[in-house]
Amino acid sequence: MTNPLRDTWDTPFELPPFNLIKDEHFAPAVEAALEECRAAIAAICDGSDPTFANTIEALSMADTPLEKALAPFFAMAGADSNDVREGLMRDFSPMLSAYSSEITANTELFARIEAIWAARDTLDLNDEQQRVLMLVRRNFVRSGAELEGYAADRLADVKQRLSVLGTRFTQNLLADEREWFMPLDDLTGLPDFVIQAATAAGEDKKARGPVVTLSRSLIVPFLQFSPRRDLRQKAYEAWTSRGAMGGETDNRDIAAETLSLRAERANLLGYDTFADYKLETEMAKTPDAVRALLMQVWEPAKASALADATVLQAMMHNDDEQGPLEPWDWRYYSEKRRATEHDLNEAELKPYLQLDKMIDAAFACSNRLFGLEFTPIDAPMYHEDCRAWEVTRDGKHMAVFIGDYFARSSKRSGAWCSAMRSQQKLAGDIRPQVINVCNFAKPSKGAPALLSYDDARTLFHEFGHALHQMLSDVTYELISGTSVARDFVELPSQLYEHWMEVPEVLEEFAVHAETGEPMPRDLLDRMLGAATYDMGFSTVEYVASALVDLAFHETEDAPADPMQKQAEVLEDIGMPHAIQMRHATPHFAHVFAGDGYSCGYYSYMWSEVMDADAFQAFEENGGPFDPTMAKKLEEFILSAGGSDDAATLYTKFRGSMPDATALLKGRGLAA
């Protein structure tokens, strides 16, 4: 039987032939690819004199067969999972971790890298090659290449176990989100767009009518509009109990073991804490720097939220609802308050925020800024909801962009950007294949897909990540696109959100789904005027999560009971009663699904300090579409990838590093 994952791909732009790929192809393809990769590593260690080309460049190409087999698998496992793919994920995670440890524990290979490193000043390497050499060596050292004996063996076991736990955490969360739904017998107060989304969700769940699921794009508007406090409470408690519902899918023990193993990993590598280990390579560098930023924002955010809570509780009591304002009450009364104070509500806005028009807006902004053009292409995808475009500039192929926008039970929650293929020049002019995955509510058949204001920002956010990939212009994949410091990677995405709020963009693309009329200017002004409405709430729920994440990792001994530690942190900072963490520990996938954002959830705010300052640079120099600033943004940020230190790149773009002043002003929290 031929295996399409092992064949040459005669498809548009060499996209994976998803129409030919079956689940049974993955395991043999990965096993065969691993054999090829091991042979490539062995060939590097052939006894020849080590050079940058025969060692560093050869190493960067060694995993090509594995990347080809895994790229479509990871795309499908995250966005269209099933029992077989979940089983494969559980099999692949320890296998791939063991392979990674095998490479970094290869003493011959590391000796070659060390020899090149020692001779680096005599090798006439260009700046990019020097950067890649430093990163390769640093990755090996931080992966335990200098360890021997028990320490080396134990580190390999720890990393392998962590990969297993991360996969289990993700799959448990997906199972809870997939299984729970609440039939909606009472539709009182719900606007048409919520009823349509609930009806579509009921069809997906094969229920007898509309349902509320744990998808953020459905449960949030339900909490905003349902006057039934008992139903809001039931839905909210299910939503915030993901990963903590007991039984086989409970994530609390997984979180505890993960934190313990991370602390041990850091200690084996000579660090006092996992936070010291993790932050060493980030812009923040130290836990103290992270805490300083978060607390600078926490106090004004909490003060704003507490003032809002007083108003909302009074509104609730006026409705003859007794007791304190609860977390399942906040969104309902906040939506009512917004309608009163800003003459604005989600139901009025949604018809003007069509998914297709917001996609067009994101494309149009990138055209005005960077000259990119998008042409739909017909190519097999992993799901019928996906759509694809060729991205060109001046007639030159730049990338393939894939959008997968709708929530479904086979897709994990959240929104993300990934690259099935990254830009590089070492193996030829390789252009990226980029996917944006979102979880917007799918409309009933024949109805237009409508977004909330936050949904539209999410679309622009993920497209900002995509631009970082599509405009990358480096030689080595190791520093391509979003391969940058974790607290720098959110800069392009959060910066791009600002263009969604540019009035001239909204005037062109925010048109009514039924009439085609542009959003009235007074509504547009009211929408933008309310952009910082309820910012105390959203900032508090985010910063609380980031502070808990930091606290989990900044002590030498990991907390034995993460839930108790979470409670202690929230009590210490004075968490308002009616607000909960945006991501409680059992469903904190950013932190526990893998190492990516572990001790790194603060990164969004660290990057926001820069994105607020960066957009201010556009406003100071000719406006949102100023060509000079756009050119600098591409040259020093988007095309540069990880070719230099993040602070150096930002300083080249802006002239200096910012402080949090613009951030607090942008969030409406400045004194």
Active site (catalytic) residues: 462
CA dihedral 475, 479, 482, 483 (to 10 degrees): 160
User: What distance in Å separates the CA atoms of residue 70 and residue 63, rounded to the nearest whole number?
Assistant: 11
**Other CB atoms within 10 Å distance of the CB of residue 59:** 20
Backbone angles phi, psi at 440, to 5 degrees: -80, 150
Return the structure tokens found at 293: 């930023």
Residue whose C-alpha is closest to residue 368's, from 633, 635, 630: 630
Return the structure tokens found at 256: 């505890």
Contact present, 602 and 290 (Cβ < 8 Å): yes
Residue whose C-alpha is closest to residue 251's, from 260, 259, 242: 242
Return the structure tokens found at 528: 């933008």
Amino acid residing at 93: S
Contacts of 428 (CB under 8 A, 6+ apart): none
Q: What is the enclosing helix (H) or strand (E) of 129? A: helix 127-142
User: What distance in Å separates the CA atoms of residue 35 and residue 30, rounded to the nearest whole number?
Assistant: 9
**Other CB atoms within 10 Å distance of the CB of residue 40:** 17
Amino acid residing at 270: G
User: What distance in Å separates the CA atoms of residue 435 and residue 302, rounded to the nearest whole number?
Assistant: 36
440 strand-pairing partners? 406
User: What distance in Å separates the CA atoms of residue 633 and residue 478, rounded to the nearest whole number?
Assistant: 21
Instruction: State whether residue 622 is helix, strand or coil.
Output: coil
Q: Which residue has the tokens 């995670």?
A: 93
